Structures are given as C-alpha cells and as structure tokens.
Structure 1
Amino acid sequence: MEIEVRRRGRRSLGDKAITVACVVVTLLALAFLVPAVFGLQRYVIAGTSMTGTIDYGSVTYERVVPVGDLRVGDIITYQPPPDSGIDHPVTHRIVAIHGDVFRTRGDAVPNRDPWKFKLDSNQQARVVFAVPYMGYPLIWLSDRHTRMLVIGLPAAVIGLFAAAQLVGALRKKPQDEAKPADTAPRPQNPSVPLHG
C-alpha cells in the first residue's frame, strides 16, 4: 500500500509540473496573440543599445501610426538603410527629424546612429510599452542547440518511458495461461426411470 501512495505522490508532482508548464506556455502565447487583436505589433529586444529603457530580453508592443505623428523622443522599430550593414530591425529613439529624414540613437549608446534614413512607408510602428524578460524564451529558441535540447529532451524522455512500458508488458505473464482449461465440476441431471 505504501508503494502505491508514493507512486501517486510522484504522479501528482509530475502532473503539477506539467500543469505549471502548460499555464506558462498558455500565458506566453496569449501575451503574444492577444495584443495583435488590438493592433499592436510585437518585437523581441535582442540587443543592449536601449538598456535602461528597454532591456535585453524584453518584448516591445508597438502601435502603427502615421509617419507624420512621429516626434523626437519616440522609440521606433525600423529597418536601417542597406548601406548600414545591419540586416535586422533596430529599436531606437528618434533624436532628430529634418523633413522626412530621421536620426536615431540607442539610449545606452553615447553617439547617434551613423546613418540617416527615410521611412519607406507612410506608417511606422512606435513603442507603446515593453515587458521585461518575456522575450528570453524566444531568444533562447533562436539558438539551434537550445531548440534541439528543448525538443529532443522531452522526446527522449517520452521514448524511454514508452520503451520501459513495452519491456514491462513483454515481461508480464498472462494469468490465464497458468490455469487449466475448464476443470469446474458440472452439475448432473438426475434421471428418473419411467415405469409404465
């Protein structure tokens, strides 16, 4: 009986861990999907140039606004010009606007970005707010080795569990093989002689 109680306790702890993991994954999914319903774009901050304002691993939520609404001091996520040598979006603060030409700078960097740029569209994503730490899982998953570990480790555990169950099922002898075929006594019907 004690062994069963311990097994149940372990299953209960495993069930709790799975429940917590499911809740965390669900909350992260909602944090990324629900804002889209309200027209917000999401970006994961994978650099340190805005540290102090928007730290590494944060997720920014941004609303698309007309370019004419942008002001010095706004934080935007944009693609730097091709000759900048940067092939990914950058989230920086606008420090100067001259007509339709913009200059930006990261808050943690003393100098302006070395490029000037024009926005390709008449609308631009502007940061509304940021949530710290929420982007870490996505940053980690962007690494190939981490992805393999996150996918491979649970798959290996499931495979080992399935193999253990299979071995246990093969070792178990069916109870019915040990019993001889139908040895129970049969009731006898008495016969009564007929005299006529």
Structure 2
Amino acid sequence: MTNQLTVTVTDTPDAATPAPPSGVASASVAPAKQKPHGILYYLGLGLSGGLFMLVLALAAAVIVVPAATGSVPLTVLTSSMEPTLPPGTLIVVRPVETGDIRIGDAITYQIESGKPAVVTHRVISISSSSDGSKTFTTQGDNNGAPDAEPVVSEQVRGKVWYSVPWIGYVNQAVNGENRSWIIPTIAGALFLYAGYMMASAVAGALKKRRAGD
C-alpha cells in the first residue's frame, strides 16, 4: 500500500510587504489645497488693471489721437477760461474751416497774426464782410469784457475738440527735447507692466492646476 502525501498551498502575504497591524487602517495622503486668495489680492489686481487702462487711455488722448488727426495738444496756462478750462487743463485743438465755427465755440487763435503765441477764448459773435471774410469777437469765460481786437480768419488755428483736466502740465513736460526719452520710457514701462501681469496670471493658473492634480 502506497502512502500519498497531500500538500495544500495557500496564498500568503509577500514578506516584503507585511500586512498592517490589526486595528490600523491604511490611508492615502490627499494633496494640500491651495489657500484661496483674499479680497485684498483681487482688489489690488483690479486696481492694477484699472491703472493700466487709465494710463493707456491718457496716452491715447494726449499722443495717439492728436497725431492721427492732425490736432495739436496745448496746455491752458491762465485762468481766463475758468471754470470750464482751468490752468493745467490739456486741450486738443483740431483744425477747422472758419465757416464751421459757431457762436459758443472755444477757438485757439494767434494773439498777433503770424506770430506763434496763441490763446483760447470763446466766440461770442461773428461778423461777415461783403467779400465773404469773417471776423470773430471772443471773450474768456472768466473775463468781464470781450477781447479788444476781433479775430480774423488767418489767426484761427483751430477749435477745441476735447479737454483733459490736470494733464496739461504733463504735456508740457514731454514737449520738445524731453519727448525723445520720456515717451519711449513710458511705453517701455507699460510693456513691462503688461508682461508682468500676463506672466502672473499664467503662473497662478498653472499653480492652481497642479494643486488640483
């Protein structure tokens, strides 16, 4: 009679990976959540964006639009047009046909015909002569009497198109030789600022995506 040996094989845990002790549960470590930005962060972001847009708008009003339309930016230096155009106001003067000037328009004209000095006053009356030429009686809004001499067509440099308060002195600063370095400096600063804002937005989006993986 032959004896048969039966061997029963059962699955056993790998010796290299022992089972956790009884009563101890394994747990996976969840990724740390990104701390949400506070209201000050978003407020600063909004103010930065608003300031950037304001600077662009002012640059367009002072430089781009006048250059594109043949208009001239000038600075109000006296109080004769207060309160409408107080000192320090930037006015943009657009060339205009004298036939299109109406009573109530603020025009810029040469104080003496053929000389560069100009003044901006409001038209209070218009006279036409038999040969078709016109003369304009002007007066400053803050003055008590009309200007002594009427303005002839040859003196008129243009009509006030629009004005920007408090920016006139900046326009004076960037006129002449200063314009050659101030304008490129401002433009470069704006491009750097825009690049910084874009890079910050991309970095924040990447960081948020990684935190969510």
Q: TM-score, normalised by structure 2?
A: 0.48
> In the alignment, which residue of structure 2 is the partner of 1:114?
148
5+ unaligned residues in a row in structure 2: which ranges?
Answer: 1-51, 129-133, 183-213
Instruction: Give CA deviations for 1:130-162 in whole Å, capped at 9, x if unaligned.
Output: 1100012345689xxxx9xxx9xxxxxxxxxxx
> In the alignment, which residue of structure 2 is the partner of 1:131?
164
1:95 and 2:124 equivalent? yes
For residues 51-66 of structure 1, the aligned pairs below 5 Å read: 51-66=82-97
Is the 1:81–1:117 Cα contact (8 Å) retained in structure 2?
no
CA distance in 1 between partners of 2:158 and 2:112 (Å): 16
Is the 2:91–2:168 Cα contact (8 Å) retained in structure 1?
no
Equivalent residue pairs, number: 122
Instruction: Give CA deviations for 1:35-55 in whole Å, capped at 9, x if unaligned.
Output: 121343211111110011111
**Distance change (3 Å), C-alpha of 1:79 and 1:30:** same
Query: Residue 160 of structure 2 aligns to a residue in which SS?
Result: strand
CA distance in 1 between partners of 2:69 and 2:171 (Å): 22
Percent of paired sites with the same residue: 31
1:125 is displaced (CA, Å) by 1.1
Query: Residue 170 of structure 2 aligns to a residue in which SS?
Result: helix
**Distance change (3 Å), C-alpha of 1:25 and 1:88:** farther
Is the 1:77–1:127 Cα contact (8 Å) retained in structure 2?
yes
CA distance in 2 between partners of 1:53 and 1:30 (Å): 22
CA distance in 2 between partners of 1:67 and 1:134 (Å): 28
Say which of 93, 99, 103 aligns to 1:68.
99
Say which of 135, 139, 151 aligns to 1:105.
139
1:28 is displaced (CA, Å) by 5.3
1:34 and 2:64 equivalent? yes
**Distance change (3 Å), C-alpha of 1:63 and 1:77:** same
AA of the residue aligned to 1:75: A
Query: Residue 137 of structure 1 aligns to a residue in which SS?
Result: helix
Is the 1:66–1:124 Cα contact (8 Å) retained in structure 2?
no
1:75 is displaced (CA, Å) by 0.4
5+ unaligned residues in a row in structure 1: which ranges?
Answer: 1-22, 152-196
> In the alignment, which residue of structure 1 is the partner of 2:81?
50
CA distance in 2 between partners of 1:140 and 1:33 (Å): 13
- Give me the CA root mean square deviation: 3.3
Instruction: Give CA deviations for 1:27-73 in whole Å, capped at 9, x if unaligned.
Output: 65443221121343211111110011111101112222211011111
For residues 165-176 of structure 1, the aligned pairs below 5 Å read: none
Is the 2:137–2:146 Cα contact (8 Å) retained in structure 1?
yes
